Amino acid sequence: MFIFWKKIFDNISINKRLGIIQYNKKIQKKLGLSINDYSQFYLPIEIEIKSTINKYGKFINIKKDNEKYYHIYFDGKSKEIKRDYLLKGEKVNKIKIIIENQVKSFYKLFDNCSCVESINFKNFNRIDIIDMSGMFYNCSSLKELNLSNFNTNNVTDMSWMFSGCSSLKELNLSNFNTNNVKYMICMFSGCSSLKELNLSNFNTNNVYDMREMFYNCSSLKELNLSNFTTNNVKDMKGIFSGCSNELKNKIQQQYKNIKINE
């Protein structure tokens, strides 16, 4: 019954869906949802992207199937764009992406999108995302990343999430909830321009693989791991490989529970 109602609702606009649920208790009962549940699972994710100038390439990787669940607009215009790539020489200052339907994985969402310079998650009310591995993998031109509205409450995999973001100089992850994360393999590997990183809010109680987590973060001078626990970690091989000796010495002195091995 739930699937039947969900199919009907997926073909109705967001605002109409919200209104119908809000004022119809029978519909809420059929869907097994309250208005609050609806906002957590169904409201759109809105992403704003700026691209580098005159570069050909994809700006987002969204799996295309029979079910349309995203809308793309260029430069604030209301006309929807039917492609997820830029043409050579094309000048686009702003790309707006709205993801409507339920998506549980952001696996490789911006994988190898080397034409992207800025990503801003403007609205992110959803709690159903469980996989963010490789999400920004090899976004080599990325200079600005706003994740202040991010919800990572149910994410279990963050491996390679920022790997290869070699132009990223700042990264604010203060709102990240990592309570359910199990994998952080190569999470920041190749972030060679990052000078400091504060992960004091990270809960790593359930993480059991941190291999090469900070591999080749060659510019990193300050790394706050004050809340890190490694009791359940099975593999930390090469976690600081390619980092400066200065950073390794600091880590060794400040955090006795973290073993540095190559």
Token pair for 165:
């973001």
Contacts of 246-254 with C-beta under 8 Å, sequence gap 24+, read 246/221, 247/217, 247/220, 247/221, 247/223, 250/223, 251/223, 251/225, 254/225
Dump pLDDT digits (tens) for 29-72: 776 666 566 556 667 889 999 998 766 789 998 765 555 568 89
Q: What is the DSSP letter of 32?
A: T
Its pTM stands at 0.84
CA–CA gap between residue 154 and residue 152 (Å, rounded): 6
Residue whose structure tokens are 């809010």: 201
**Residue 251, Cβ density class (10 Å: 0-12 exposed, 13-18 middle, ≥19 buried):** buried
Domain ranges of the chain: 1-42, 102-262
Dump pLDDT digits (tens) for 94-117: 999 998 766 788 999 999 999 999
